[in-house]
């Protein structure tokens, strides 16, 4: 029977990288509905894409624009956000991935340990 891996003395050979999803956008519809009801407004979006929905909610919360939505739906709203340079609204629509066992492409040297990197992947909002 093989002894347990001891990171203080053993070297682990990684033959294939691992990818871990450590964060992603979620929408709590019940809380959004409660907020809207508490403020006497109703609103709904025309997108089913969680990242697009969350970015729109974030923008509408920031500017309190639920009661007077601009015509054209989610796509028009997000295009306007980009047009006026308020891209921080889009930062709510990200996925965070931890990639383990991959050498960095630009700084890799022979014998370096596999890299552990966390990447933020923006949703496909900037078409």
Mean pLDDT in residue range 107-120 = 46
Higher pLDDT, 11 or 127: 11
3-state secondary structure of 22: strand
| 121 pLDDT above the threshold of 60 | no
Mean pLDDT in residue range 6-17 = 78
Check residue 122 and give its pLDDT.
46
Phi-psi region of 87 (alpha: psi -120 to 50; beta: other; left: phi over 0): alpha
Helix (H) or strand (E) holding 76, with range, is helix 73-83
Q: What is the pTM of this model?
A: 0.59
Strand order in the sheet with 115-122: 18-23, 94-102, 115-122
| 97 pLDDT above the threshold of 70 | yes
Check residue 74 and give its pLDDT.
93
Model confidence pLDDT, tens digit, residues 48-91: 888 888 889 888 888 888 888 888 999 999 999 999 998 888 87
| 127 pLDDT above the threshold of 50 | no
Check residue 84 and give its pLDDT.
92
Handedness of CA 32, 37, 43, 48 (dihedral sign): positive
End-to-end CA distance of the chain: 54
| 116 pLDDT above the threshold of 90 | no
């Amino acid at each position: 029977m093989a002894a347990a891996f001891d990171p203080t003395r053993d070297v682990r050979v990684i033959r294939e990288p691992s990818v871990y999803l450590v964060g992603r956008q979620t929408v709590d519809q019940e809380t959004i509905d409660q907020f809207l009801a508490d403020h006497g407004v109703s609103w709904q979006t025309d997108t089913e894409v969680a990242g697009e929905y969350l970015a729109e909610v974030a923008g509408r919360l920031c500017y309190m624009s639920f009661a007077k939505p601009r015509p054209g739906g989610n796509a028009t709203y997000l295009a306007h956000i980009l047009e006026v340079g308020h891209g921080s609204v889009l930062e709510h629509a990200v996925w965070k991935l931890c990639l383990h066992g991959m050498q960095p492409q630009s700084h890799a040297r022979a014998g370096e340990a596999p890299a552990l990197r966390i990447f933020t992947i923006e949703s496909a909002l900037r078409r």
